[in-house]
Structure 1
Amino acid sequence: MSRRASRSGFGLLVALLRPRRRPLGFALVWTLVEAVPGLVSGLFVANAVDDGFLAGRPGTGLAWLGLLAAAMLAGTVATRLMFPHLAAVVEPLRDDLVRAVVTATVTRAARGESPDTAAVSRLTGQVETLRSLVSALLRTTNGLGISLVSALAGLLVLSPLAAAVVAGPVLVALAVFLLLLRVLLARQRGLVLADERLTAEATPILSGMRDVAACGAGEQAYAAVRAAVDAQAAATRALARAGAARRLIVSVGAHVPMLVLILAAAPLTRQGRLSAGEVVGAVTYLANGLQPALQSMTGILASWGVSLAVTLRRLAETVVPPPPEPSLAHACPPAGFELTARGLTFAYAPQATPVVQGLDLRIPEGEHLAVVGPSGIGKSTLSLLLTGLRRPTHGQLLFGGIPLDRVPERHLRSAVALVPQEAYVFAGTVRENLGYLCPPGVPDAWLHQAAERVGARALLDRLGGLDAEIGEPGALSAGERQLIALARTYASPARLVVLDEATCHLDPAAEARAETAFAARPGSLVVIAHRISSAVRARRVLLMDGGTARTGSHADLLARSRLYADLVGHWSNTPPPAAHPLATRRFP
């Protein structure tokens, strides 16, 4: 794993834990108290043997053992007191991570990148893994490190000679462990990437089984998934083989020192260089301190720790936004709100027929444009392009004279609003829903006025006013949700509003009221029309017909375009309503 990636993953964890320094500090303090028995156990046992039982003073020996029991009791109490502080660190971690993942995914989608729902699913799974790993590691690694240090420090205080006997094998074991960690990190990352590749291969095939069967592509689909499964299995086996070396570390670092100490005990005690109590105390440190610590280190750090490091890196690569490009960091807001398309082309795949092709269009400030065309011709795709939610394959969009993809994101999302057919209403008060796109402190009078203008006042009264709670948005009808979304957008500061069949669940009168309100509102209005009346009300109409597009007033297109006349006849068998009084206004 690269150092830069390691730093980004570690930086993500530090950023998540930084607001919880206080409970983390308390948890560390109680961990130190919890480690006291491991620090004093060998000393107390040695004194119990040398000064007590071997000296013919069993009371003294029992007193030392009683002190050890008291230390163990204190460690148990410290463990109990540590858990509430540990919970205060760990439990909010998942919410923060989910929020970071979702925010990053939505932000990238808003920038025009295609949303990857499979990645969201994977990352939320990794979020839960990370939460569990952090919880386990915070609980164990503090005690693990302190136990290891306590065992070695206690052994050194008890007998420097015994410490020297075991130091060599322990240092060799630690060096091998550090080398093994690098291998395990690479193998664990390979397994995570193999899992993700398997998901990426299998998801579209499973969701398109009917098409696979219809095209007779079963063998190709099987081969693709089988290759991903084989790669995932190979990565799992490679990780398992690397993990098998952990037993060697415990043998070299704990079993070999104990064997060496036991073999050297007899000559060293005869020479008077070690006492029987020191031998027993040293064995106590090795058996109760060093060996469990090494077993935990190789078992926990080499599995949980490696998984945590790899998962942190994957999350950091996803949720940490890339630094802005120098050319974008100093971008200036556009001059005005005119939108211009030059040679605008978009296709969903390199070999696919473009949905929008070579479109030249100018939407000046104050324009009221209706977009019409047969179903599936690309009208909704055009709405995504005009609002910057998709990037064109070719061509250019200028907003206020600046390329749309170079407009500062905050300015673009404030100046441009898209209202889709499926209106979004969230659980909360009516005020929160209507004022969601407004700057802080928007007066209630303006929200009331916005609702009145688009025809949502009766709905507002029925719900109980701005303070009423919308507990279950699904209880509202599709038309009521559209009225709330329209009032929200009307109240916003957006100067270019695109309504993508945003009134399809309203009756014609309600639709006319809403569109008329937006047309009279400062700014430009683009309506993806689903009724002929929307085109009649507009000042200009854009007719999409696959590779060609025409603009003009309703009357112009009715006279010049057979397709438009057919659409008008399809939409309505009744005479169209009177044209908008400004429908004859011309724009270059």
Structure 2
Amino acid sequence: MNRAGLALLVRELRARRRALSLIALWSAIESLPSLLSGLLVSAALGRFLAHEALSGTAFLALLLGSALVAAIATRQLFPHLAAVVEPVRDALVTAVVEGAVTSATGSQQRADTAQVARVTEQVQAVRDLLGSLLRMARQILFTALAALAGLWLLAPSVALVTGVLVTVSLTVFALLLPGLAARRRKVLLAEEEVARTAGTVFGGIRDAIACAGEAEATRAVGTAIDGSLGHSRVLARAMAVRSLIVFLGGQLPLVVLLASAPSLVHAGRLTPGEVIGAATYLTVGLEPALRELVGTGGSLCVELAVTLDRLGEGFTDRRPQTQAVGEQLATQRCDLVATGLTFAYGPHAAPIVDALDLTLTEGRHLAVVGPSGIGKSTLASLLGGLLAPQRGTVSLGGTDIRQIRESELRRLLSIIPQEAYVFAGTLRDNLGYLAPYVTDRELTGAAADTGLALLAERLGGLDALIGAGGAELSQGERQLVALTRVYVSPARIVILDEATSNLDPAAEATVEAAFARRPGTLVVIAHRISSARRAEHILVLDGDKAQLGTHDELVRTSTLYANLVGHWGFANPPPSEPTNPPVKRP
């Protein structure tokens, strides 16, 4: 069974705990009539039998008042239900579309037309099922509990027998659910086969007509439809067993109560009013709730589980891919090596990078410096695979990066440009985009490491909404968001292409120190000498020449670097950075 769909649902529901708590609160208030109905009916009947019509009517009025309170609570529920259901639908659409695009672009086979059924019918089905299930579950749960609680207060012996019968019926129902889910899955697969067969036939209808194959095409679609109908009939017969469960837990307790009522009343263990009150709990509260649970609720649970399972098979397989690639690279170093790297903007232009050889063993921290326009960003794009060199190669872990699948390359190597991109969504969405399974605790820790914590607190936490492009954020704040996004990603090589240019020196030092502690290789295109001073090695670009060394070596051997140091005005070493324990990449 594929659990990607269920995992997504759980993650989205956890992110909306506040809305779910409000749903529970209003549901508890809504169940007030179920709790009071039997008690108030019993009390009213007792007053009427004692010829106290006014007080009996007062008890019935209280029951009516509780119903009005419940109606108000019901009205308050729907906005909170929408706040849960609609984001889940959006997340499912995003996951299915990403999976369809990835599958289509990464395979030479014909696109799977059944994806249309997933992104339309199945996603919409999950939305409707989840909404219905939430409405029903909270009503059934609170109504049934309230009815049992009221029955216990009114007639404990009847409540005990009823509880045993309900427990048995629910146990039988739970044992039947896996079989129902398996049959429902077959129905869903058969429906997809109809969509796939029809899509293939309709897509090649002209060829079928040209080859006189109309009858064969019709037969293929008809066979798929007949198979779908057959599985639906089997499921319908299996669903019919639910009526026995409803009788066992919802109707048999009433039969037992009515059959034993004369002896119970004669023995003085129950009054006539208590018998009527207990019957009210069973007929108005418990039996309808159980019928809804076993009937409609069971169908909804089966439909939701199977549909989520099937949808999950079409998601972009991020977690398994990450594990597989991680296992592949666990036995090799992820070194970044440039050999004879040459690039020029145009066939007759002077090379920006000319025959550069550079080896960065995994875990190194390199700063690239040079005058403005010398080609630092060009080198970053070449190392990151965004530009193709005219001559030479860039290899990652011994493999030419042009031979590495784009999705895998981007997972291993991240480039953060000067212009940071922030998209519409929550702060959590922005930070976890490259690491979809990162936890809130990990995001909070990363924000503290990179210096984003104050911004997150000002915005209102991880659930804070950010507009398209992050218009409400400053340029430096947008850079911090983009930096933290990559910080929590699984990238083993990070290239900062002046990605801290809009941060003040202290904030820049915090970010670079965090990335330096982070496992992996760090390349910084420096715009301040302090960035170079923090690096283990420095690459100085000087026209068609490049020189590699430490700060002390380059001050003595590179006139350009010495001039840059003097221009930037950093004669003394920068203050040491605060040390924190190493962080683990999610």
Q: Does the alignment reach a TM-score above 0.5? A: yes
Aligned equivalents of 1:218, 1:192: Cα separation in 2: 27
- Which residue of 432, 442, 445 maps to 2:419? 442
Q: Is residue 252 of structure 1 aligned with residue 264 of structure 2?
A: no
CA distance in 1, matches of 2:214, 2:4: 42
Equivalent position SS for 2:19: helix
- Helix, strand or coil for the counterpart of 2:113? helix
1:60, distance to aligned residue in structure 2 (A): 2.1
Q: Mind listing any 5+ residue stretches in structure 2 that lack a counterpart? A: 348-384, 386-392, 422-468, 470-494, 496-586
Change beyond 3 A, Cα 1:251–1:406: farther
Moved more, 115-124 or 11-20: 115-124
2:72 matched residue in structure 1: 77
1:28 paired residue number: 24
Does residue 327 of the first structure (1) align with residue 327 of the second (2)?
Answer: yes
Q: Which amino acid aligns with 1:61?
A: G
1:293 matched to 2:294? The reply is no
How far has the Cα of 1:314 moved from its partner? 1.4
Cα distance, 1:85–1:122 mapped onto 2, change above 3 Å: same
Residues 512-563 of structure 1, C-alpha deviations (whole Å, 9 max, x = no match): xxxxxxxxxxxxxxxxxxxxxxxxxxxxxxxxxxxxxxxxxxxxxxxxxxxx
| C-alpha separation in 2, matches of 1:113 and 1:92 | 33
Question: Matched residue of 1:312: which SS?
Answer: helix
Cα gap change, 1:282 to 1:327, in 2 (>3 Å) = same
> Any idea what the Cα deviations from partners look like across 1:376-414, whole Å, max 9, x if unmatched?
xxxxxxxxxxxx9xxxxxxxx996641769847467359
* 8 A contact 2:338–2:394 mirrored in 1: no
Report whether the alignment pairs 1:267 with 2:244: no
Distance 1:184 1:11, change over 3 A: same
Aligned counterpart, 2:95: 100
Q: Which residue of 2 aligns with 1:56?
A: 51
Q: 1:60 & 1:218 partners in 2: Cα distance?
A: 79
- Look up the SS of the partner of 1:318 in the other structure: coil
Q: Is the 8 A contact 2:42 2:273 kept in 1?
A: yes
* SS of match in other structure, 2:314: helix
Which residue number corresponds to residue 183 of structure 1? 179
**What CA distance in whole angstroms lies between the structure 2 residues aligned with 1:262 and 1:180?**
30
* Structure 1 residue matching 2:200: 3-state secondary structure: helix
Letter in 1 for 2:255: L
C-alpha contact (below 8 Å) 1:108/1:115 kept by paired residues: no
Cα displacement string for residues 331-368 of structure 1 (whole angstroms, at most 9, x for unaligned residues): 75574578xxxxxxxxxxxxxxxxxxxxxxxx986599
Residue 123 of structure 2 corresponds to residue 146 of structure 1 = no
**AA in 1 matched with 2:272:** A
Largest Rg, 1 or 2: 1
1:196 positional shift: 1.2
TM-score (norm 1): 0.57
Instruction: Tell me how far 1:99 sits from its aligned partner.
Output: 1.4
Alignment-mate amino acid for residue 327 of structure 1: E
In the TM superposition, residue 216 of structure 1 has moved relative to its aligned partner by 3.4
Amino acid at match of 2:201: I
Closer, same or farther in 2 for the Cα pair 1:207/1:109, shift >3 Å?
closer
Structure 1 residue identity aligned to 2:85: V
Residues 88 and 77 (structure 1), Cα distance of their counterparts in 2 relative to 1, 3 Å cut? same
Matched residues, percent identical? 39
**Matches of 2:222 and 2:327 in 1, distance apart?**
45
- Give the CA deviation at 1:283: 0.5
For residue 281 of structure 1, what is the aligned residue in structure 2?
277
- Does residue 229 (structure 1) correspond to residue 225 (structure 2)? The answer is yes
> Closer, same or farther in 2 for the Cα pair 1:192/1:337, shift >3 Å?
farther
Q: Which amino acid aligns with 2:302?
A: V
Residues 277 and 222 of structure 1: CA distance in aligned 2, closer, same or farther (over 3 Å): same
1:13 equivalent in structure 2: 9
Confirm or deny that 1:412 pairs with 2:414. Answer: no
Q: For 1:172 and 1:123, locate their aligned partners in 2 and report how far apart those are by CA, in whole Å.
A: 37
| 2:247 maps to amino acid | S
Distance 1:406 1:302, change over 3 A: farther
Change in Cα spacing, 1:410 to 1:334, as seen in structure 2 (3 Å) is farther
Asked whether the 8 Å contact 2:19–2:84 carries over to 1, the reply is: yes
What is the one-letter code of the residue matched to 1:236?
A: S
Q: Is the 8 A contact 1:34 1:79 kept in 2?
A: yes
Q: Secondary structure at the match of 2:419?
A: coil
Query: 1: CA distance between counterparts of 2:205 and 2:108?
Result: 26
Comparing 287-296 with 148-157, greater Cα deviation is found at: 148-157
Is the aligned partner of 1:155 residue 2:132? no
TM-superposed deviation, 1:104: 2.8
- The CA RMSD measured in Å over matched residues stands at 3.5
In structure 2, distance between residues paired with 1:79 and 1:123 = 32
Cα deviations by residue, 1:183-241 (Å, 9 ceiling, x for unpaired): 21111111011111222222112210111222333444344333322211111111111
Partner of 2:111 in structure 1? 116
Cα distance in 1 for partners of 2:346, 2:193 equals 45
| 8 Å Cα contact 2:39/2:277 also seen in 1 | yes
Contact residue 166 and residue 261 of structure 1 kept, 8 A: no
1:408 to 1:222, Cα distance in 2 relative to 1, 3 A: closer
> Which of 195, 202, 214 is the matching residue for 1:199?
195
Aligned length: 373
- Paired residue type of 1:82: L
The aligned runs of 1:120-519 (5 Å cut-off) are 120-125=115-120, 126-319=122-315, 321-323=318-320, 324-325=323-324, 326-328=326-328, 330=330, 335-336=336-337, 366=343, 401-402=398-399, 407=404, 409=406, 412=409, 439-442=416-419
Instruction: Assess, with a 3 A threshold, how the Cα gap between structure 1 residues 411 and 232 changes in structure 2: closer, same or farther.
Output: closer
Instruction: Tell me the distance in 1 between the aligned counterparts of 2:182 and 2:304.
Output: 13
CA contact (8 A) 2:198 2:221 kept: yes
Q: Which moved more, 1:247-256 or 1:167-176?
A: 167-176
Distance in 2 separating the partners of 1:82 and 1:273:
41
Q: Are the structure 2 counterparts of residues 415 and 157 from structure 1 closer, same or farther at C-alpha, using a change threshold of 3 Å? A: closer
Cα distance in structure 2, aligned partners of 1:110 and 1:398: 24
Q: Work out the CA distance in 1 between the residues paired with 2:237 and 2:174.
A: 17
- How far the C-alpha of 1:115 sits from its partner, in A, is 6.9
**Structure 1 residue 251: deviation in Å?**
2.2
In structure 2, the residue corresponding to 1:273 is in which secondary structure? coil
2:115/2:314 contact within 8 Å kept: no
Q: Per the alignment, do residues 265 and 113 of structure 1 end up closer, same or farther by CA in structure 2, a change over 3 Å counting?
A: farther
